[in-house]
Amino acid sequence: MCARFRDIRTGHRVERITCTEDGAGFQAATADGGVFTAPLVIAATGAFSRPYRPAVPGLDSFAGTVLHTSDYRRPEPFTGRRVVIVGGGNSAVQIAIELAAVADVTLATRHPLRFMPQRIAGRDIHLWLQRTGLDTAGWARPLLTGGQGTPVMDTGTYRDTVASGNPDRRPMFDRLDGDQVIWSDATREPIDAVLLATGYRPGVDYLAGLGALDEHGTPSHRAGVSTTVPGLGYVGLEWQRSFASATLRGVGADARHVLTRLLKRSRRNGAAAPAGDPASVHGGSGAGEVR
Ligand SMILES: Cc1cc2nc3c(=O)[nH]c(=O)nc-3n(C[C@H](O)[C@H](O)[C@H](O)COP(=O)(O)OP(=O)(O)OC[C@H]3O[C@@H](n4cnc5c(N)ncnc54)[C@H](O)[C@@H]3O)c2cc1C
């Protein structure tokens, strides 16, 4: 196995990937001035490196504090404050409950919160997802998300704590105005802080020049194979093929799937893969060049 991984290089940050002049492959330029070429590229740079800040009306001119969950460290700085948390996922609920001990907190969400027990019959939910096959089944997505995002894993107290009203949950507000929030029923109230618990996007800016990304900067792909750039693939994206895709449990099967597709296409097109260089993998799950 080791012999199949030639030329592993670490400590290089890829800044830009472009097509080679003959169009047969890719050229990766690194921050330290290096250049790598390869007929295939797999982007494996993670799914959670770019905090997602949605366009919330009035947020840019909001007079209070605005922060993303990636900037949140501890509740004390919010003691006695009025805080609105945007989002209804795991981070939103966990931080809301922690903050509610010292602050007046509301969760503003587009849909009612949905809870899934963290443990069933004494075992973690992830074990059951794995045993039932739901973990790696693409068709299970609507079943697991209800079309409304990943449910909140409830350790036993989250649902009851939110039901008690501290923190409370309300439908997403209409907009912010100065230091006020305007709720969907048109009532206004002054608030001190907005915390965006709105998740992350993959940090793949280095692919922008290829036409690989959509208008939101996220990869256009089907099951990890780029739908716009032949020879480009991904591993580790959220819901790339299944619930487990962005976890250590799912990435192996996804990697096999993507490499198989890319290599098949490459052979079909008779691409003259330079010996030992059929693919460059950028990122953590398997940085290096792969045969
Ligand atoms: C809060 C949290 C909890 C999680 N808990 C679990 C869990 O319990 N179990 C589980 O299986 N998964 C968990 N995950 C998912 C976890 O992120 C993945 O399982 C795993 O880290 C994915 O590995 P990866 O190699 O795809 O991405 P990452 O671990 O994100 O690695 C990406 C790599 O790419 C490199 N990189 C980024 N940009 C560039 C660039 N331009 N050029 C070169 N290199 C670059 C980075 O330096 C990094 O080394 C969790 C995620 C989060 C956010």
Of 198, 230, 251, which one is at a domain's C-terminal end? 198
Q: Which residues contact 26 (CB under 8 A, 6 or more apart)?
A: 17, 18, 19, 20, 37, 38, 39, 40, 41, 210, 231, 232, 280
Please report the pLDDT score of residue 148 as a whole number.
76
- The residue nearest atom 5 of ligand 1, judged by CA position, is 247
Query: Number of folded domains in the chain?
Result: 2
C-beta separation of 184 from 145 below 8 A? no
Give the SS3 label for residue 180: strand
Average pLDDT of the segment spanning 110-120: 93
pTM of the predicted structure, to 2 decimals: 0.84
Model confidence at 285: pLDDT above 50: no
CA–centroid distance, residue 165 to ligand 1 (Å) = 35
CA angle in degrees (0–180, nearest 5) for 57-50-288: 160
User: Which atom of ligand 1 is least distant from the CA of 91?
Assistant: 1
Shared domain check, 120 and 45: no
Of 171, 198, 225, which one is at a domain's C-terminal end? 198
Shared domain check, 207 and 275: yes
C-alpha–C-alpha distance, residues 207 and 28, integer Å? 10
Shared domain check, 58 and 15: no
The CATH number of the domain where 165 resides is what? 3.50.50.60
C-alpha–C-alpha distance, residues 270 and 274, integer Å? 12
Shared domain check, 33 and 93: no
- Mutation test of ligand 1: which of 248, 251, 254 has the most ligand atoms closer than 8 Å to its C-beta? 248
Model confidence at 275: pLDDT above 90: no
289 or 195: which leads in pLDDT: 195
CA–centroid distance, residue 247 to ligand 1 (Å) = 8
- Ligand 1: residues with CB < 6 A are 13-14, 44-46, 48-49, 203, 206, 236, 246-249, 251, 282-285
DSSP labels for 198-228? --EE---GGGGGGT-B-TTS-B-EETTEESS
CA–centroid distance, residue 238 to ligand 1 (Å) = 11
265's enclosing H/E stretch is helix 251-268
CA–centroid distance, residue 246 to ligand 1 (Å) = 8
Of 198, 217, 250, which one is at a domain's C-terminal end? 198
User: Which atom of ligand 1 is least distant from the CA of 49?
Assistant: 30
DSSP labels for 52-97? -----TT-TT-SSEEEEGGG---SGGGTT-EEEEE--SHHHHHHHH
Domain housing 13: 2-49+202-290
Please report the pLDDT score of residue 227 as a whole number.
97
User: For residue 256, how many other CB atoms are within 10 A of its CB?
Assistant: 11
Shared domain check, 246 and 147: no
CA–centroid distance, residue 284 to ligand 1 (Å) = 7
- The residue nearest atom 16 of ligand 1, judged by CA position, is 247
Model confidence at 213: pLDDT above 60: yes
Model confidence at 210: pLDDT above 70: yes
C-beta separation of 173 from 50 below 8 A? no
C-beta separation of 244 from 238 below 8 A? no
CA–centroid distance, residue 100 to ligand 1 (Å) = 30
Shared domain check, 173 and 211: no
Tens of pLDDT, residue by residue over 137-185, are 989 888 888 777 778 999 889 999 999 999 999 999 999 999 999 999 9
Shared domain check, 254 and 162: no
Shared domain check, 62 and 188: yes
Shared domain check, 139 and 84: yes
- The residue nearest atom 43 of ligand 1, judged by CA position, is 13
Please report the pLDDT score of residue 271 as a whole number.
55
Model confidence at 281: pLDDT above 70: no
Shared domain check, 40 and 126: no
Shared domain check, 61 and 186: yes
What secondary structure letter does DSSP report for 142?
A: H
Shared domain check, 186 and 172: yes
C-alpha–C-alpha distance, residues 278 and 200, integer Å? 31
Give the SS3 label for residue 98: helix
- The residue nearest atom 3 of ligand 1, judged by CA position, is 247
> Counting Cβ atoms within 10 Å, is residue 147 exposed (0-12), middle (13-18) or buried (19+)?
exposed
